[in-house]
Amino acid sequence: MPGSHFEVMGQLNPAPDLHIIQVKEMTLPIALVKPPLSTSNELGSSSVVHKSRKCFALTLTMKIYTKPPEKVSNKVSSITSGRRLVVNAMISSQGFHLPSVEIFECNEIHSMNADHFTSWIKKTCNMLRTDLENIFPFQGSEQKICLVLDNALWHNKQTEFSRIPSRSWNKAQVYDWLTKHNVPYFDQYSKAELIELSRANAPPKQYITDEVAAEFDIEILRLPIKHCMLNPIEIAWGGMKNFIRDQNTTFKLEEVRTLVSNWLAACDETAATGVFHHVQKYEETFKKADHFIETIELTLVDDADDDTADDDAIDDDDSDAASDDDELKLGIGEEEDEDN
Residue 253 within a domain: yes
pLDDT in tens, 211-220: 999 999 999 9
Q: Is 68 contained in some domain?
A: yes
Examine residue 324 and state whether it is found in any structural domain, yes or no. no
Instruction: Give the count of domains, the chain.
Output: 1
The reply to whether 259 falls in a domain is yes
pLDDT at res. 152:
85
337 inside domain:
no
So what's the pLDDT on residue 170? 92
Assigned domain for 329 exists: no
pLDDT for the residue numbered 34:
47
pLDDT for residue 85? 84
Residues of the domain holding 26: 5-157+207-298
Q: What is the pLDDT of residue 3?
A: 59
Residue 68: predicted pLDDT: 44
Q: Is 189 within a domain?
A: no
Low-confidence ranges of the chain (pLDDT < 70): 1-5, 14-15, 17, 28-82, 108-110, 138-141, 298, 300-340
Mapping DSSP onto H, E and C, the string for the chain reads: CCCCEEEEEEEEEEECCEEEEEEEEECCCCCCCCCCCCHHHHHHHHHHHCCEEEEEEEEEEEECCCCCCCCECCECCCCHHHCEEEEEEEEECCEECHHHCEEEEECCCCCCCHHHHHHHHHHHHHHHHHHHHHHCCCCHHHCEEEEEECCCHHHCCECCCCCCCCCCCCHHHHHHHHHHCCCCCCCCCCHHHHHHHHHHCCCCCCEHHHHHHHCCCEEEEECCCCCHHHCHHHHHHHHHHHHHHHHCCCCCHHHHHHHHHHHHHHCCHHHHHHHHHHHHHHHHHHHHHHHHHHHHHHHCCCHHHHHHHHHHHHHHHHHHHHHHHHHHHHHHHHHHHHHC
Please tell me the predicted confidence (pLDDT) of residue 10. Answer: 75
Asked if the structure places residue 201 within a domain, the reply is no
| CATH number for the domain harbouring residue 78 | 3.30.420.10
pTM over 0.85, yes/no: no
